[in-house]
């Protein structure tokens, strides 16, 4: 019987959410899964350095080099299967995955999004842009969401959410940092453990 799910974390940038996952694994918050692979679609992502420091295998897949999104996804599926991955965590992964991909790993892909879905989400809402839009709209509360990934961008079933207050004078950068510290870095590891423990029962 399996006692740990092999986790792949998909990244594109700084990797602070990956770091939160690594820290949660070290402190025992994540115990039903083990991060065995980090895949980046950006060769310069600092997240790759974080993975290497934690002795986690890395892979870089570049759509530009591979020629198309379809070939990129085929190569990604091949890599994930070769590593016997049971859960895919999108942690700041800035690429929308096709239905073919999401169906291949149905119920086994989760994503962290920096707002309270269904606000400020969907195509075009990623990274700092999400916080810019929240400030522009004038909402007083925002937050983060971890959800399952299906073919609809940010449209899968919600697993966890946490609210964060907006303060007078917030800039997108200040708000992004608060949402990460008070929400993303807490709910992503907790949701990862929850989903892994449920997948162990399947
Ligand atoms: C995070 O805020 C994450 O929620 C967001 O990008 C940032 C990545 O930071 N993801 C999205 O907007 C996806 N739609 P990180 O690389 O430091 O984890």
In 3D, which of 13, 44, 27, 45 has the Cα closest to residue 112? 13
Express each pLDDT in 27-84 by its tens digit: 999 999 999 999 999 999 999 999 999 999 999 999 999 999 999 999 999 999 999 9
Percent of the chain with pLDDT over 70: 100
CA of 127 to the centre of ligand 1 (A): 5
- Tell me which of 127, 160, 185 to substitute to probe ligand 1's pocket, judged by most ligand atoms within 8 Å of the beta carbon: 127
Which residues of the chain have a pLDDT value below 50? none
Q: How far is CA 168 from the centre of its chain?
A: 29
Q: How many whole angstroms from 16 Cα to the centroid of ligand 1?
A: 8
Ligand 1 centroid to Cα of residue 2, in Å, is 30
Kindly give, in sequence order, each residue whose CB lies less than 8 Å from that of residue 95, ignoring residues fewer than 6 positions away.
12, 41, 63, 69
Q: Residue 1 has what pLDDT?
A: 62
pTM of this structure: 0.98
For the CA of 176, the closest atom of ligand 1 is 2
Q: Domain 5-201 is in which class?
A: alpha beta
Domain ranges in the chain? 5-201
Q: Is 113 a catalytic residue?
A: yes
């Amino acid at each position: 019987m399996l006692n740990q799910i092999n986790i792949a974390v998909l990244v594109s940038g700084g990797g602070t959410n990956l770091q939160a996952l690594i820290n949660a694994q070290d402190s025992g918050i994540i115990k039903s899964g083990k991060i065995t692979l980090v895949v980046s679609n950006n060769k310069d992502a600092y997240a790759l350095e974080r993975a290497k420091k934690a002795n986690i295998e890395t892979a870089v897949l570049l759509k530009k080099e591979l020629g198309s999104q379809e070939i990129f996804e085929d190569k990604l599926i091949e890599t994930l299967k070769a590593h016997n991955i049971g859960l895919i965590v999108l942690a700041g992964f800035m690429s929308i995955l096709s239905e073919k991909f999401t169906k291949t790993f149905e119920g086994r892909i989760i994503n962290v999004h920096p707002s309270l879905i269904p606000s400020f989400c969907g195509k075009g809402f990623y990274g700092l842009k999400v916080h810019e839009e929240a400030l522009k709209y004038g909402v007083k509360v925002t937050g983060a969401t971890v959800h399952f990934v299906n073919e609809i961008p940010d449209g899968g079933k919600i697993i966890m959410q946490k609210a964060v207050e907006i303060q007078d004078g917030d800039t997108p950068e200040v708000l992004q940092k608060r949402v990460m510290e008070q929400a993303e870095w807490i709910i992503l590891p907790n949701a990862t453990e929850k989903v892994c423990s449920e997948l162990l029962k399947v």
